[in-house]
Structure 1
Amino acid sequence: MNRFNVRKVAVLGAGVMGAQIAAHLVNVRVPVVLFDLPAKEGPANGVALKALEGLKKLKPSPIGVADELSLITPANYGEHLDLLAGCDLVIEAIAERMDWKQALYAQVAAHIAPHAIVASNTSGLSIGALAQALPEALRPRFCGIHFFNPPRYMQLVELIPTADTDAGILDALETFATRTLGKGVVRAKDTPNFIANRVGIAGMLSTMQEAQRYGLGFDLVDDLTGKKLGRASSGTFRTADVVGLDTMAHVIRTMQETLGPGRTEDPFHASYATPPVLAGLIAAGALGQKTKAGFFKKVGKDILRLDPATQQYVPAGAKAEPIIDRILKKPAAERLKLLRESSHPQAQFLWAILRNAFHYAAVHLASIADSAREVDLAMRWGFGMKQGPFELWQEAGWAQVAQWVAEDIAAGKALSDAPLPGWVSAGPVAERGGVHTPEGSWSAAEGRFVPRSTLPVYARQRFPERLGGEGGEDPRKAGTELLKNEEARLWTPDGQVLVLSLTGKMHLIGDGVLDALERGLDEAERGHAGLVIWSPDEPFSAGANLEALLPVFMKQGAKGIEPVVRRLQELVLRLRHAQVPTVAAIRGMALGGGCELAVACARRVAHLESYVGLVEVGVGLIPGGGGLTYIARRAAEQALAAGSTDWLAFLKDGFLAAAMAKVGTSALESRQLGYLLPEDVVIAHRDELLHVALQQVHAMAEANWRPPVERLFPVAGREGIATIQAQLVGMRDGGLITAHDLHLGLQIAQVVCGGDVDAGSLVSERYLMTLERQRFCALLEHPKTQARVMSLLQGGGRPVRN
């Protein structure tokens, strides 16, 4: 297999996108040379250096851990073009000016390595036109690579070839972007704004126009077009603020200039007019989140919205009418029918924007995308939609929705009088009831259903993200099932490795999970290669199911809870010392009991966006399932490895992580906190998690893996407890923690230090777990803990601080 090895990347342009692309590259351990213009004052690399400092201040953070920024080398075009020769991939990410980009290409072309791929991170400029500035020898290795902002978190990357781009180069870049960067790759045609921005911005313009037509405020529109509609929670106008109103205006301007009469004819061109309110905000310098004012403005803790009539900011918070909320919870076919037939302005508005989306996507499919798959995935991954327009249309009933859209076009209600394409109502799509089938998705350009990519990288995705109508193996029913209850499913994909999938709400740990874990360990040790704990969706686990324990506590008090905690501890110990390899495949949150299950496994495979921590103090408790025992044992192992008897020095970080409920904001930070170990595997693509976890089990089994031997280990003892207590008292007296926080911290200290024993005393895991269990159950009787627990169960926001 020919492999494109990316040892180092050059990013040209240290602006918002360039710097964040560089940050994401180093998140996955790819070194970067970050270029920009020589600074006019100070160090020549000042522009790139300032960008690196800016990365540390951005929220959400573009970097997994700040230490990784050392993998970025700042550079400037005046002095360091020779560094390009050592780069396998060059990503240009300067401002959206064709002349600037072409001038830069002319400057750097001679310094690029003969094998390197060159790609432009443009959001909509013609890739073919950009290529004209490159030497002919470079053009086969040039394409567009469009990241979405912020690059670390947004799934979508669009790859756009020119007529000269070598097919193998595009395959290599798609493989790199998928496996190494963890992206969902969509190949787009070289048309203005490509797929996601073309369809997405047209949809936002449609929403703004229909909102004005129906007299709906920005806050109400965002409530209607957010999660209730299966879209990003930021809705429409808040999304525009986050993206930047100037950025949005640039994308709109590209559509206006390239899709008008005399150019690429677009029957929707009239709808690309810049909304007056958007133009006014830009003229006033209110560009959205970056300037702290746009359609919305935050004043103190209050969110205000712009009133277009008065040009003043007024209180926001309008919500959809209850009847609309009820409609939006109906199945797709009934939902769209009710919206279309209702006389309520909010319903009419919603039908209008959905109809416009269906109409637009159908008319433009042939020109912008290879198939409907690319459109729907681009809208999922780039605009946070639960379903793309074709998916929703198909689910709601293809023929019926097509008829409704056609009637509205004929009645002059649509944005354009362009008819729906013929393939919508006649031929294979009409016969199959939609554009997505098990054979593939509809290509309007080719007139056939096109299957998914067969690139080898996709063989690593056992359960890739599927579109409605595609079919494919359902991870909730796949393989051979051994056990299924309301909380968990035990199954095997290959007859060799068992998989425990958590299926309850937030994948909370209750009796059902423990039953399945016990059965899984029995079966695995009886005749399987190992056990993987994996679920097809997030989170890994949000912890113990406290709500399920409430009736037991109300009837029997802490005495009724003690056997449940004991059983969890016994299974955690058994998991740690299982006679077969055990692997936790972590994606999303692994909190509390979820963290305890993960650290008990022989190994962890974690998606980059994994957030791991012991958070029990937030509800007035301490970890009770072996989490504190893990911290104490790891500290002892590290101290012994270092030849030190300063047990407390190695315990400090673990204690603070538990006492302050620290959660890693990435798998990389979770490793720094000690919840992931150096030998654990971090992967970038969430759909590869199960594949890699299974491979880890097979590799460990083939290497004759043996479980850790139960050993005694030293603890910090009463001296450690006294030191920690003094520090906690100081924090309380300084107003940093509450009296109950101090009490909780002291309970944690007593466990991780081993209780009332001398420093250096040898203890067992079972001994420490007994301390954990006793203190956990005692806290259940504490009124302040009960107040925190009840606040959580009643749906409170932030934890009670008492």
Structure 2
Amino acid sequence: MSEPIKKVCVIGAGTMGAGIAAQVANAGVPVLLLDIVRDEQDRSSVARGAVEKMLKTEPAPFMGKGAARLVETGNIDDDLAKVAECDWIVEAIVERLDLKQALYAKLEAVRRPGTAISSNTSTIPLADLTGGRSEAFTRDFLITHFFNPPRYMRLIEIVAGPQSDPALVASVEDFVDRKLGKSIVAAKDSPGFIANRLGIFWIQAAMNAAFDQGLTVEEADAIGGRPMGVPKTGVFGLVDLIGIDLMPHLMQSMTRTLTTGDAYLEIARDHPLVGKMIEGGYTGRKGKGGFYRVNRELDKRREAIDLTTGDYREMAKAIGPSGAAAKGDIGALISAPGKTGAYAWAVLGPTLSYAASLVPQAADTIVAIDDAMKLGYNWKWGPFELIDKIGAARLAERYRAEGKAVPALIEMAGDRSFYRIEEGKRQYLGLDGGYHDIVRREGILLLEDIKRTSQPLVKTGSAALWDVGDGVAALEFTGKMNALDGEVMKAVQKAIPIVQKGFKALVIYNEGSNFSAGANLGLAMFAVNIAAWGEIEKLVEGGQKALKALKYAPFPVVAAPFGMALGGGCEFVLNADAAQVHSETYMGLVETGVGLIPGWGGCGEMLDRWRSNPALPKGPIPAVAKTFETVSVATVSRSAAEAREHGFLRPSDGITMNRDRLLADAKARALAMVEGYEAPKPPEFRLPGPSGRAALKLAADAMHKRGLATDYDLVVADDLAQVLTGGDADWIDTVTEADLLKLERKAFMARIHDPRTMARIEQMLETGKPLRN
């Protein structure tokens, strides 16, 4: 292994280069960002302007404003010598070979020997990039193809040449894995590498079929979106997102570099409508609109373009596939009658055939192809997983029936699947005709692997407890959106004695799309509709008891959130001894948004954290005011770093950049706490009482006058203030944790009785958006 990477240089401050620099800074690593000189008065204005722009961009490239301070800006003319301070140089300039090679010639003169240098190119072969360079430069060179936006897209394709130093490549891979949080796919030095090679083919096939078959864009995206395991944008929505004007450049790049006989060359074609849209500035979301647009002159009417006439019309609700074809049965989808099956087959038939042709041309294994599409294009299933859903033999039969060639890999599979489970291990079919274990990178521990070879220690309708090894158990939420209900609380109460008896520590973790979206609002709505007030209060009290039982358990409890950790999900984290958090964690006590008060101890936990924060003055008011400010407006962090700033995480809580490493890191943190562990003592508070509540009411009234709070927001805020100030207690009185829990229950029940809360919950369930009543 080469020397560790302690500082990075990124050359090129465009969207990609600046985004890569931001992600390096998000990892806490200093980065030098360079670009050309455009302004003689401010020679580094390009790089500096890129940083300033990113601080205002949404979604935010920086995980916190503090990260921006780690970016040093400069220019290539004056500051290129500074690359000698850096351990990895990332070139991310315009896709022109002559300009890249001119830059490489300059870098050879100033970089330290043995420093890794890589290109973020998405189209130019590595052999062309290193042509004419020294042996030492070629040895230290590789391609690191990030996907946009670099903070949020997990995929990185790495291409090493035959002369690349394996130790240096391994050092870069370790850095982008652990520090930048990327999932690495090894690609061959072939045109477009993997994801874009197949992705561009898929987009072209889908657009061609829609035009040829006379479908509307809504129909095409309804068939070619979620039913295929593709994001709901479908193809036309995706093209709007990435930029319609990018499509001709991608096509030209592929047609220029692919060899004669490649299947893409047979389907590549210009659509006159696309050229007309680009000329008129209709380049997608970044332009006047695209295949879809919002017409602001017609009361923000959502419109779609007519693929035949080129005119915009009101967007229609397309009727997508039904039955099994709508629920992931790909065989049923491509066999469906009418336009559904015809379009699905016109897209998937050639795309799956092309995917099979890319092994070993673009990648050594089917796993690399599948991972690239799942990570780079957010497909739910990779192409070979899709083939398994159809059946390789059935697919081959259909190709033959239509007079089409059957790819050798599909022919070889025959009636076998491309993936199988053998002795608890997931295996893939190799080019040698045999099955091979899928091997994780060192240090990665996934619950999905553990579950193949074991049974849960506890299982309820919404949660399960698993042995994850080394004396650590993991509590998993399993309901829809990992919503929390009585079944989760039952699992907690069952898990505690099991862990106490046979384990050292507990981790709260799962591998869903999000840690938890909070309490099951649908269940709450049902209970209100049948006036089951006792059951609702029982659920609130049961949640309080379960979370406090975790907090005071005689063993360490570590929460490992990721994605959304909202409402009750946030309260699980707040009640744990420690948290090991994925960097992309969006935490918040959001109950006020639906007219409720945090009911599972969140108020007391936030008060306890803020009163111990050295940045706040001492006394009963500052912590109360800060908690009220955070909770009353349903603040949600936009990253784990922001969660620290908002008090949802302690300064000592850990952040994991790579989602796949979260369980291993949380388990290690839990084990490190075992020796000498003592459960915390229940906190006691001195709170300001009615006078403090009056002060908070003044603050809320000021928000209302500015139009930032609704009439009902004031009602909810007053109940929250009652809890946070200790009710009728005075600042000289001691308020216990139990007192606060009682106040939470009372406030929660008062709000859930209110029809205005029910209106908020109903809209949230129907639209996912808060009602401002």
Q: Which range, TM-score by smaller chain?
A: over 0.9
In the TM superposition, residue 371 of structure 1 has moved relative to its aligned partner by 1.3
CA contact (8 A) 1:475 1:536 kept: no
Match of 1:800 in 2: 771
Is 2:667 the counterpart of 1:694?
yes
In the TM superposition, residue 335 of structure 1 has moved relative to its aligned partner by 1.0
Matched to 2:620, the amino acid is: W
Is 2:460 the counterpart of 1:461?
no
Distance 1:331 1:636 in 2: 50
Matched to 2:355, the amino acid is: A
In the TM superposition, residue 242 of structure 1 has moved relative to its aligned partner by 1.6
Distance 2:395 2:706 in 1: 64
In the TM superposition, residue 757 of structure 1 has moved relative to its aligned partner by 3.0
Is 2:610 the counterpart of 1:635?
yes
Q: TM-score, normalised by structure 2?
A: 0.94
Greater CA drift, 646-655 or 248-257: 646-655
Distance 1:330 1:146 in 2: 33
Greater CA drift, 57-66 or 783-792: 783-792
Greater CA drift, 187-196 or 325-334: 325-334
CA contact (8 A) 1:498 1:530 kept: yes
CA contact (8 A) 2:525 2:761 kept: no
In the TM superposition, residue 390 of structure 1 has moved relative to its aligned partner by 1.5
Match of 1:520 in 2: 495
Match of 2:681 in 1: 709
Tell me which of 688, 694, 712 is aligned to 1:740: 712
Distance 1:275 1:448 in 2: 43
Is 2:419 the counterpart of 1:424?
no
In the TM superposition, residue 185 of structure 1 has moved relative to its aligned partner by 1.0
Tell me which of 273, 276, 280 is aligned to 1:277: 273
Give runs of aligned pairs for residues 157-306 of structure 1, distance below 5 A.
Answer: 157-261=156-260, 265-300=261-296, 301-306=300-305
Distance 1:318 1:52 in 2: 41
Give runs of aligned pairs for residues 27-66 of structure 1, distance below 5 A.
Answer: 27-66=26-65
- Give the SS at the match of 2:389: helix
Is 2:434 the counterpart of 1:434?
no
User: Mind listing any 5+ residue stretches in structure 1 that lack a counterpart?
Assistant: 411-418, 465-472
CA contact (8 A) 1:106 1:133 kept: no
CA contact (8 A) 1:718 1:759 kept: no
Tell me which of 382, 386, 393 is aligned to 1:392: 386
- Tell me the alpha carbon deviations over residues 242-277 of structure 1, each in whole angstroms, 9 at most, x when there is no partner: 21233332221111112254xxx4244131233333
Match of 2:638 in 1: 665
- Tell me the alpha carbon deviations over residues 734-762 of structure 1, each in whole angstroms, 9 at most, x when there is no partner: 32211210111111112112222333543
CA contact (8 A) 2:284 2:291 kept: yes
CA contact (8 A) 2:726 2:735 kept: yes
- Give the SS at the match of 2:512: coil
CA contact (8 A) 2:227 2:328 kept: no
Match of 2:737 in 1: 765
In the TM superposition, residue 92 of structure 1 has moved relative to its aligned partner by 0.7
- Tell me the alpha carbon deviations over residues 545-588 of structure 1, each in whole angstroms, 9 at most, x when there is no partner: 23334555455554443233222212222222222100111121
Match of 1:369 in 2: 363
Tell me which of 309, 323, 329 is aligned to 1:332: 329
CA contact (8 A) 2:333 2:341 kept: no
Is 2:751 the counterpart of 1:783?
no
CA contact (8 A) 1:295 1:305 kept: yes
Match of 1:406 in 2: 400
Match of 2:552 in 1: 577
CA contact (8 A) 1:631 1:655 kept: no
Match of 1:413 in 2: none
Greater CA drift, 204-213 or 567-576: 567-576
Greater CA drift, 44-53 or 299-308: 299-308
Match of 2:654 in 1: 681
Distance 2:12 2:616 in 1: 48
In the TM superposition, residue 338 of structure 1 has moved relative to its aligned partner by 2.2
CA contact (8 A) 2:334 2:344 kept: no
Match of 2:377 in 1: 383
Identical positions, percent = 34
Match of 2:139 in 1: 140
In the TM superposition, residue 603 of structure 1 has moved relative to its aligned partner by 0.5
- Tell me the alpha carbon deviations over residues 151-202 of structure 1, each in whole angstroms, 9 at most, x when there is no partner: 1111211011222112222222222222221111111111111111111101
Greater CA drift, 731-740 or 741-750: 731-740
Distance 1:387 1:643 in 2: 49
How many residue pairs get aligned? The number is 767
Change (3 A) 1:296 1:792: closer
CA contact (8 A) 1:204 1:236 kept: yes
Matched to 2:406, the amino acid is: L
CA contact (8 A) 1:366 1:443 kept: no
Change (3 A) 1:381 1:128: same
Distance 2:711 2:608 in 1: 28
- Tell me the alpha carbon deviations over residues 285-325 of structure 1, each in whole angstroms, 9 at most, x when there is no partner: 4332222333333323333223344333222234135xx23
Change (3 A) 1:623 1:225: same
Match of 1:467 in 2: none
- Give the SS at the match of 1:137: helix
CA contact (8 A) 1:123 1:251 kept: no
Is 2:505 the counterpart of 1:530?
yes
Distance 1:556 1:272 in 2: 62
Distance 1:41 1:293 in 2: 36
Match of 1:414 in 2: none
Q: TM-score, normalised by structure 1?
A: 0.91
In the TM superposition, residue 17 of structure 1 has moved relative to its aligned partner by 0.5
Matched to 1:137, the amino acid is: A
Distance 2:561 2:33 in 1: 32
- Give the SS at the match of 1:134: coil
Distance 2:452 2:90 in 1: 42
- Give the SS at the match of 1:305: strand
- Give the SS at the match of 1:73: strand
User: Mind listing any 5+ residue stretches in structure 2 that lack a counterpart?
Assistant: none
CA contact (8 A) 2:611 2:622 kept: no
Distance 1:259 1:112 in 2: 34
Change (3 A) 1:648 1:478: farther
- Give the SS at the match of 2:771: coil
Is 2:746 the counterpart of 1:774?
yes
CA contact (8 A) 1:242 1:288 kept: yes
Change (3 A) 1:248 1:112: farther
Distance 2:334 2:759 in 1: 46
Match of 1:468 in 2: none
In the TM superposition, residue 117 of structure 1 has moved relative to its aligned partner by 0.9
CA contact (8 A) 2:273 2:310 kept: no
Distance 2:177 2:550 in 1: 33
Tell me which of 345, 369, 390 is aligned to 1:351: 345
CA contact (8 A) 2:496 2:550 kept: yes
Distance 1:390 1:141 in 2: 34
Distance 1:490 1:260 in 2: 53
In the TM superposition, residue 518 of structure 1 has moved relative to its aligned partner by 1.0
Give runs of aligned pairs for residues 600-615 of structure 1, distance below 5 A.
Answer: 600-615=575-590
Change (3 A) 1:200 1:28: same
Change (3 A) 1:409 1:670: farther
Greater CA drift, 620-629 or 756-765: 756-765
In the TM superposition, residue 431 of structure 1 has moved relative to its aligned partner by 5.9
